[in-house]
Chains A and B, each alone.
Chain A
Amino acid sequence: MNLWNRLMCFSRRRSPWLFHMNSGSCNGCDIELIASLTPRYDAEQLGVRLEGSPRHADILCITGPVTRNSVQAIKTVYGQVCGPKAVVAIGSCPATTNVFIDSRTLDGPLNRHLPVDVFVPGCPPRPDAIIQGIAAAAGILAERAAKRWPAESVMVPMADPESACDCTKCDCTKEDKSSADTPAREVQP
Chain B
Amino acid sequence: MNLTTALARLLIFPGLLFAVPFAWFFLWVERKSVALMQGRIGPPFMQPFFDFIKLLGKTTPPRRGVSGLLMKTWPLLAVSTAGGAVGLLPVLPSSGGFEGDLILLLALLEVPSMCIIAAGFSSRSIFGEIGSAREAVLSVSYNVVFLLAIVSIAASQHTFRLEALAHLPASPMLILAVVAILVCLPAKLHINPFSLPNAEQEIYSGPITEYAGPELAMWELSHGLEWVAATGLVATLIAPHFTAVWLAVLAFVVLSFGVVLLLSVTAAATARLQIDTTVRFYWQCTLIFAVLAISSALFMRFRS
Where the two chains meet, the residues of A that have a C-beta atom closer than 8 Å to any C-beta of B are: 7-8, 10-12, 14-15, 17, 39, 42, 44-45, 47, 51-53, 55-56, 58, 80, 82-84, 145, 149
Known: A39-B40, A149-B59. Contact between A14 and B210, CB under 8 A?
no
Task: List chain B residues, Cβ under 8 A from A15.
Answer: 47, 50-51, 54
Least CB distance, A152 to chain B, in whole angstroms: 13
Main secondary structure of the interface of B (DSSP, over half): loop
Contact with A along B197-229 (1 / 0, CB 8 A): 000100111001111110010000000000000
Least CB distance, A46 to chain B, in whole angstroms: 9
Asked if residues A8 and B61 are in contact (CB atoms below 8 Å), the reply is: no
- Whether a CB of chain A sits under 8 angstroms from the CB of B42 is yes
Contact with A along B127-156 (1 / 0, CB 8 A): 100000000000000000000000000000
Specify which of A42, A44, A55 is in contact with B211 (CB 8 Å cutoff). A55
- Which residue of chain A is the closest to B47 with respect to CB atoms? A47
Choose the segment among B31-39, B72-80, B261-269, B276-284 that binds chain A (4+ C-beta atoms closer than 8 Å).
B31-39
Interface size of B by CB at 8 A reads 33
Asked if residues B212 and A58 are in contact (CB atoms below 8 Å), the reply is: no
Where the two chains meet, the residues of B that have a C-beta atom closer than 8 Å to any C-beta of A are: 31, 35, 38-44, 46-47, 49-51, 53-54, 57-61, 127, 200, 203-205, 208-213, 216
Asked if residues A53 and B50 are in contact (CB atoms below 8 Å), the reply is: no
Identify 9 residue pairs between A and B in the complex whose beta-carbon atoms are under 8 Å apart, listed by A's number.
Answer: A14-B47, A15-B47, A44-B40, A47-B44, A51-B205, A52-B200, A82-B59, A84-B58, A149-B59
**What CA separation (Å) do A176 and B153 show in the bound complex?**
73
Asked if residues A52 and B209 are in contact (CB atoms below 8 Å), the reply is: yes
- Which residue of chain A is the closest to B203 with respect to CB atoms? A52
Asked if residues A53 and B209 are in contact (CB atoms below 8 Å), the reply is: yes
Asked if residues B210 and A53 are in contact (CB atoms below 8 Å), the reply is: yes
**What CA separation (Å) do A173 and B209 show in the bound complex?**
42
Task: List chain B residues, Cβ under 8 A from A12.
Answer: 54, 57
Asked if residues A14 and B57 are in contact (CB atoms below 8 Å), the reply is: no
Known: A42-B40, A52-B204, A56-B205. Contact between A82 and B47, CB under 8 A?
no
Asked if residues B216 and A44 are in contact (CB atoms below 8 Å), the reply is: no
Least CB distance, A131 to chain B, in whole angstroms: 13
- Which residue of chain A is the closest to B213 with respect to CB atoms? A82
Task: List chain A residues, Cβ under 8 A from B41.
Answer: 42, 45
Known: A45-B42, A45-B43. Contact between A11 and B31, CB under 8 A?
no
Q: Which 10 residue pairs are nearest across A and B when measured between Cβ atoms?
A: A52-B204, A11-B53, A55-B212, A11-B54, A11-B50, A42-B40, A82-B212, A14-B50, A15-B50, A53-B209
**What CA separation (Å) do A134 and B38 show in the bound complex?**
22
Specify which of A17, A39, A55, A149 is in contact with B61 (CB 8 Å cutoff). A55
**What CA separation (Å) do A17 and B52 show in the bound complex?**
12
Asked if residues A82 and B54 are in contact (CB atoms below 8 Å), the reply is: no
Least CB distance, B230 to chain A, in whole angstroms: 23
Known: A45-B44, A52-B205. Contact between A10 and B50, CB under 8 A?
yes
**What CA separation (Å) do A17 and B54 show in the bound complex?**
10
